[in-house]
């Protein structure tokens, strides 16, 4: 059916290999992660345990799928002109539902932290964070990262308004600043992680000497209670960091599209979706900063801050 024969506002998607290719790539990446993290397991005598190669192959295939799929969607919009108002409305609903699912995803990590913090006796300790954990000072690197992300929310909004007004140069400058701030946030968080006084794993979660209370519960077979804080902290903040990296890549794609002149005041949903995603990342970080860094800081750190 040619474009001239279409008498409706809906877009019938052409047959595409990307759903199948993407599913296979995700499966390979998942199996590769299992092989990589189980270094002492025998996978039918194959030299896979403890090696990241299968995971890396799957990861490259996932990136290839994304590049090919997004290229086709951009071609449908810019070249073929198939993204009519009804189609764009469907995209908006889809993006809203996706962000809603991400909200529930982060809610799980927040509750894991709140459960341990509000009911510490359930995990065999009297207070949270557990003894032996030295938390981050929220008014140092975490505050700097908060200011960085809040500033990036301003610059991405600037870029959005520039696109709406047809100011391509300002849109590009706003995107460049937002990408730079996103990369800076990631660098600061990586530096922060390398200076953490606790780790993720069950063994040696606290790098400081454990108190008598912690040793008592360890000897009773309760487990390394200090690891609960590390696990909750790194899962919540680490997944947010991953979303910052994904959002930065999203904005880099938008930058290249802006340089090619793809965005107009009437057609720019690709950028709009990236801006929504970036604002979502900003809001999640504000909750992380308030709940995990400020409210969840240890007593020793709080006393030193005052």
Q: Phi/psi of residue 46, each to 5°?
A: -80, 145
CA 109 to mean position of chain CA atoms: 13
Look up residue 149 and give its two tokens: 């992300």
Q: Phi/psi of residue 262, each to 5°?
A: -75, -30
- The answer to whether residues 102 and 49 belong to one domain is no
pLDDT of residue 7: 64
Low-confidence stretches of the chain (pLDDT beneath 70): 1-8, 201-226, 299-306
Q: Which of 82, 111, 145 is the last residue of a domain?
A: 82
Helix 53-74 and helix 18-37, axial crossing angle in degrees, nearest 10: 160
**Locate tokens 């059916």: which residue?**
1
pLDDT of residue 219: 46
- The answer to whether residues 98 and 120 belong to one domain is yes
pLDDT of residue 300: 54
- The answer to whether residues 39 and 177 belong to one domain is no
Q: Which of 33, 51, 82 is the last residue of a domain?
A: 82
- CA quadruple 53, 59, 65, 70: dihedral, nearest 10: -150
- The answer to whether residues 66 and 108 belong to one domain is no
- The answer to whether residues 235 and 101 belong to one domain is yes
- Could you give the number of structural domains in the chain? 2
pLDDT of residue 226: 54
DSSP states along 46-95: BTTTT--HHHHHHHHHHHHHHHHHHHHHHIIIIIS----HHHHHHHHHHH
- The answer to whether residues 37 and 96 belong to one domain is no
- The answer to whether residues 132 and 256 belong to one domain is yes
258, 168 in Cβ contact below 8 A? yes
The model's pLDDT over 1-51, given as tens digits with 9 standing for 90+, comes to 444 555 667 777 788 999 999 999 999 999 999 999 888 887 777 788 888
Peptide bond just before 129 cis, omega within 30 deg: yes
- The answer to whether residues 13 and 112 belong to one domain is no
- The answer to whether residues 159 and 125 belong to one domain is yes
292, 111 in Cβ contact below 8 A? no
**Whole domain around residue 221: which residue ranges?**
84-305
User: What one-character DSSP code corresponds to residue 207?
Assistant: S
Q: Which of 62, 82, 102 is the last residue of a domain?
A: 82
């Amino acid at each position: 059916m040619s474009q001239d024969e279409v008498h409706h506002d809906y877009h019938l998607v052409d047959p595409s290999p990307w759903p199948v290719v993407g599913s296979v790539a995700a499966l390979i990446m998942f199996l590769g992660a299992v092989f990589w993290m189980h270094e002492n397991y025998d996978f039918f005598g194959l030299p896979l345990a403890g090696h990241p190669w299968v995971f890396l192959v799957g990861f490259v295939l996932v990136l290839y799928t994304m590049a090919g799929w997004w290229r086709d969607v951009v071609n449908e919009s810019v070249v073929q002109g198939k993204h009519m108002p009804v189609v764009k409305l469907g995209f908006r609903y889809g993006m809203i539902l996706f962000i809603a699912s991400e909200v529930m995803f982060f809610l799980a990590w927040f509750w894991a932290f709140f459960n341990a913090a509000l009911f510490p006796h359930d995990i065999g300790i009297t207070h949270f964070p557990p003894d032996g954990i030295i938390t981050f000072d929220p008014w140092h690197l975490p505050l700097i990262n908060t200011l960085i992300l809040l500033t990036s929310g301003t610059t991405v909004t600037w870029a959005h308004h520039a696109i709406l007004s047809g100011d391509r140069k300002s849109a590009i400058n706003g995107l460049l600043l937002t990408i730079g701030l996103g990369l800076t946030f990631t660098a600061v968080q990586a530096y922060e992680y390398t200076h953490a006084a606790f780790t993720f794993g069950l063994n040696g979660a606290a790098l400081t000497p454990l108190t008598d209370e912690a040793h008592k519960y360890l000897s009773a077979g309760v487990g390394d209670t200090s690891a609960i804080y590390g696990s909750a902290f790194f899962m919540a903040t680490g997944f947010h960091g991953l979303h910052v990296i994904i959002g930065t890549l999203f904005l880099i794609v938008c930058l290249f599209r802006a340089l090619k002149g793809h965005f107009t005041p009437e057609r720019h949903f690709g950028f709009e979706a990236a801006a929504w995603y970036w604002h979502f990342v900003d809001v999640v970080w504000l909750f992380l900063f308030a709940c995990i860094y400020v409210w969840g800081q240890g007593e020793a750190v709080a006393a030193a801050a005052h």
